[in-house]
Amino acid sequence: MIIIVVVVGALGLGFIVSKKLLNKSFYESKNPLTPAETETSNQKADKTAPLINQKNRELLDINMYLVLFGQFLTLVRQAEIPGTNITEHIWGFSLRGQDYRFRTYNVACQLPGTAAYPGYSETLGGQFESLEIGQNYNVAFFGLLESPTENELRLASNDCKTVLRGLRTDSEDMERLRKFFATRDTAGFAVDENGIMDLTKVITVIQVDKL
C-alpha cells in the first residue's frame, strides 16, 4: 500500500512529498517528454498522460485523488490573490507541437490523519516562494471525491477551506484529466477567451519540484 508522507524540508521549496507517494519515474526523468525518434504518436501520448490514483483515506482523513503529471510543466504566471495566502498559477505544456495552458490554485492545507493515526496531521501545498516564471517544474496536484466535512477541515486555515470547499467532487474528472493531458480533449472543463483551461475548481497543487 502506498502511504502519503509529507515532510518539511529545511531548504528549497519547503513542503516535499515523499517518493513513496510519487511515482519513481516522476523524479528520475528530467525530461519525460523526450521520447526516442522511433516511437509512435500513441506511445508519445502515453508518456505525457498523468498518473491518477485514488487514495481512499489511506493516511489523511479526506477522500482525495492524486494527479502526477506525465511531463514537466512551465510556470507561465503566478499571482497571490489579494487579502489571502492563496496563489494562482498558470501552467503550460506542449503536446504534439501545440501549446496548452491551465490555471490552478495553491494554498497550504493542514489535514488530519485517519482514526488509525490519532494525532497525526500533514500539510499539503504551501508557499513555493522560489518559483520562477518561464522555468520548468515537476508538479503534483490533488482533487477531491467527497466534499470535506467541518471535522476533516478542523486544522485547516480559512484560505485552505475556501479552496477545498470550492473543488468539485465529480469522479469523472479523473478520466477527463487523463483525456485532456493525453489527447487535448477539454470536454467538461471551462476554457476562457485566452484559451486557458480553468482547473481551480478541479485540482489544487500539492507539490512543485524544479527540474
Q: What is the pLDDT of residue 51?
A: 84
Query: Of 66, 49, 53, which Cα lies nearest the Cα of 143?
Result: 66
Kindly state whether residue 116 falls inside one of the protein's structural domains.
yes
Query: Of 143, 153, 182, which Cα lies nearest the Cα of 48?
Result: 182
Kindly state whether residue 1 falls inside one of the protein's structural domains.
no
Q: What is the pLDDT of residue 36?
A: 32
Q: What is the pLDDT of residue 154?
A: 95
Grid cell in block for residue 131: 518559483
Better-predicted residue by pLDDT, 60 or 87: 87
List, as one string, the DSSP characters of 26-57. Answer: HHH-S-TT---TT--HHHHHHHHSPEEEE-TT
pLDDT at 47 over 70: no
Quote the number of domains for the chain. 1
Kindly state whether residue 64 falls inside one of the protein's structural domains.
yes
Q: Among 112-116, 163-167, 172-176, which is the least confidently predicted range?
A: 112-116
The pTM of this model reads 0.77
- Domain of 193 in residue numbering reads as 6-210
Backbone phi, then psi, for 48, in 5-degree steps?
-90, -10
Q: How many helices (H) and strands (E) does the chain have?
A: 4, 13
